[in-house]
Amino acid sequence: MCGIAGWLDWERDLTRESGTVRRMADTLARRGPDDSGVWTATRIGLGHRRLAVIDPELGRQPMTERGGDDGRELAVVSFSGEIHNYRELRTELTARGHRFRTASDTEVLLAAHREWGPRAIERFAGMFAYALWDIAEQTLYLGRDPLGVKPLYYAEHPSGLVFGSEPKALFASGLIRPEVDAEGLTDVFTVAAKRPGDAVYRGVRQLLPGHLLTVRRGATTARRYWQLTTAPHEDDEATTVATVRSLLDRIVGEQTVADVPLGALLSGGIDSSAITAIGARALAADARGPLATYSVDFAGSEEDFQADALHVSRDAPYVRAVVDHVGTKHSEVLVEPASLLAESGVTLRARDYPGVGDLDVSLYLLFREVRRHLTVALSGEGADDAFGGYPWFASEAERPSGGFPWSAGVKDRNAVLSPELRGHLDLHERLEARYREALDEVPYLDGESGVDRRMREVYYLQHTRFLPFLLDRKDRMSMANGLEVRVPFCDHRLVEYVWNVPWRLKRLGGSEKGLLRAAVEDALPAEVVHRPKSGFPVGQSPEYLESVRTAVSDMIESDGPAMRLLDAGTLRAMVRDQAWVNGTFTPPPILPRALQLDDWLTAYDVRVVL
Q: What is the pLDDT of residues 380-392, one digit of tens each?
A: 999 999 999 999 9
Task: Using a pLDDT cut of 70, give the percent of the chain over it.
Answer: 94
pLDDT band at residue 579 using 50, 70 and 90 as cut-offs: low
Catalytic (active site) residue 490:
no
pLDDT band at residue 587 using 50, 70 and 90 as cut-offs: very low
- Residues 352-360, mean pLDDT to the nearest whole number: 90
Among candidate residues 352, 485, 374, the one with its CA nearest the CA of residue 81: 485
**pLDDT of amino acid 296:** 80
**pLDDT of amino acid 583:** 45
- Residues 426-430, mean pLDDT to the nearest whole number: 96
- Residues 359-374, mean pLDDT to the nearest whole number: 89
Q: What is the pLDDT of residues 18-63, one digit of tens each?
A: 999 999 999 999 999 999 999 999 999 999 999 999 988 889 999 9
Nearby residues of 56 by Cβ (< 8 Å), 6 or more positions away? 34, 259, 260
Among candidate residues 258, 265, 272, 226, the one with its CA nearest the CA of residue 82: 258
- State the chain's mean pLDDT as an integer: 93
pLDDT band at residue 280 using 50, 70 and 90 as cut-offs: very high
pLDDT band at residue 581 using 50, 70 and 90 as cut-offs: low
Q: What is the pLDDT of residues 444-489, one digit of tens each?
A: 999 999 999 999 999 999 999 999 999 999 999 999 999 999 999 9
What does the buried/exposed string (b/e) look like for 480-503 if buried means 16 or more CB atoms within 10 Å of the residue's CB?
A: bbbbbbbbbbbbbebbbbbbbbbb
Q: Measure the CA–CA gap between 88 and 82, rounded to whole angstroms.
A: 14
For residue 310, is pLDDT > 80? no
- For residue 23, CA distances in Å to 11, 18, 172, 322 come to 21, 9, 7, 45
Q: Measure the CA–CA gap between 562 and 566, rounded to whole angstroms.
A: 6
Among candidate residues 364, 335, 369, the one with its CA nearest the CA of residue 347: 364
DSSP state of 351: H
Task: Using a pLDDT cut of 90, give the percent of the chain over it.
Answer: 82
43: Cα within 13 Å, side-chain hemisphere: 16
pLDDT band at residue 584 using 50, 70 and 90 as cut-offs: very low
Q: Measure the CA–CA gap between 315 and 312, rounded to whole angstroms.
A: 9
Among candidate residues 82, 85, 96, 78, the one with its CA nearest the CA of residue 28: 78
- Residues 305-310, mean pLDDT to the nearest whole number: 61
- Residues 326-347, mean pLDDT to the nearest whole number: 86
Q: In degrees rounded to 5, what are phi and psi of residue 553? A: -60, -40
**CB contact at 8 A, 278 and 248:** yes
**pLDDT of amino acid 489:** 98
335: Cα within 13 Å, side-chain hemisphere: 32
For residue 536, is pLDDT > 70? no
Q: What is the pLDDT of residues 561-578, one digit of tens each?
A: 999 999 999 999 988 886
pLDDT band at residue 316 using 50, 70 and 90 as cut-offs: confident
pLDDT band at residue 314 using 50, 70 and 90 as cut-offs: confident
Report whether the peptide linkage leading into residue 290 is cis, meaning its omega lies within 30 degrees of zero: yes
Among candidate residues 49, 55, 34, 40, the one with its CA nearest the CA of residue 101: 55
- Residues 421-428, mean pLDDT to the nearest whole number: 96
- For residue 398, CA distances in Å to 432, 447, 452, 508 come to 21, 20, 11, 16
Among candidate residues 341, 334, 364, the one with its CA nearest the CA of residue 483: 364
DSSP state of 424: T
For residue 353, is pLDDT > 90? yes
**CB contact at 8 A, 101 and 14:** no
Which uninterrupted H or E stretch holds 8?
strand 3-9
Nearby residues of 495 by Cβ (< 8 Å), 6 or more positions away? 146, 147, 228, 382, 386, 463, 489
- Residues 357-367, mean pLDDT to the nearest whole number: 87
Q: What is the pLDDT of residues 51-95, one digit of tens each?
A: 999 988 889 999 999 886 677 899 999 999 999 999 999 999 999
User: How many helical (H) and strand (E) elements, i.e. helices and strands, does the chain have?
Assistant: 25, 19
pTM > 0.75: yes
Which of 1, 2, 291, 501 is catalytic? The answer is 2
For residue 582, is pLDDT > 90? no
More confident site: 577 or 165: 165
